[in-house]
A and B are shown apart, each in its own frame.
Chain A
Amino acid sequence: EVRLVESGGGLVQPGGSLRLSCAASGFTFSSYWMNWVRQAPGKGLEWVANINQDGSEIYYVDSVNGRFTISRDNAKNSVYLQLSSLTAEDTAVYYCARGSDTAMPGEWGQGTLVTVSS
């Protein structure tokens, strides 16, 4: 069974930083693209970033490019999202999602809430 467990969310002040983690199990982690997708309270889904199997290809949505960094550790079956220079607009539930047949999200975790507020 595919299992994705996000952690690291919480309350952070504007301008602050946070590191999200996603622990994967139940599949061969190193064979899949991994994504981060976020959902602001009461809003729709917004794709944030993804990374290919060996970390050599990385893409970001424009609104986070230069502030967020996605990375992965295949030895630890984990993907990470480093968030910095946070603003209130980054407040959202952040979901980790395994690539499906392509880089697009397939299986999803339960999400971790990031709240940016003073």
Chain B
Amino acid sequence: QSVLTQPPSASGTPGQRVTISCSGSSSNIGRNFVYWYQQLPGTAPKLLIFRIDQRPSGVPDRFSGSKSGTSASLAISGLRSEDEADYYCAAWDDSLSGAVFGGGTQLTVL
């Protein structure tokens, strides 16, 4: 059971906008930055969003992050077939004194 809760799956058609949620608590998302990672099949994870809503250079602006209270969201607009991957949220947890991840959301592009 992961500390951060994500839906196990999501789907959309090309061009659509999809949102992936991440629910936490006051000890993690509620007081710390949220990070999002993309893991394409058979590859290492890649940082997609840092500090809630910041994109590393090279990440398309189709990807955006937000946070409200103890929950966060990743939005992908203009969905493309190459976006098919697993997506993970993460944050530092002050109570656990460690980083925590969501269980991951498998995104399917129909």
Contacts and interface: CB of A to CB of B under 8 A. Distances in A.
Interface of A: 35, 37, 44-47, 50, 59-62, 95, 97, 100-111
Given A47-B90, A100-B35, A104-B90, A59 B98 contact: yes
Contacts of B99: 35, 47, 50, 103-105
Contacts of B96: 61-62
A28 to B, nearest CB: 18
B59 interface: no
6 contacts: A44-B86, A45-B101, A62-B98, A102-B51, A104-B33, A105-B90
B92 A102 contact: yes
B82 to A, nearest CB: 19
Nearest to B101: A45
Interface string B13-52: 0000000000000000000010101010000111100110
Nearest to B105: A44
Contacts of B47: 100, 105-108
Interface residues of B, number: 26
Given A44-B86, A100-B50, A108-B47, 6 more contacts: A35-B99, A44-B104, A47-B100, A101-B50, A102-B33, A106-B47
B94 to A, nearest CB: 11
Which residue, B44, B88, B91, B104, has most C-beta atoms of chain A within 10 A? B44
B101 A46 contact: yes
Nearest to B45: A108
B101 A47 contact: yes
B68 interface: no
Contacts of B65: none
Nearest to B88: A45
Nearest to B93: A47
B34 to A, nearest CB: 9
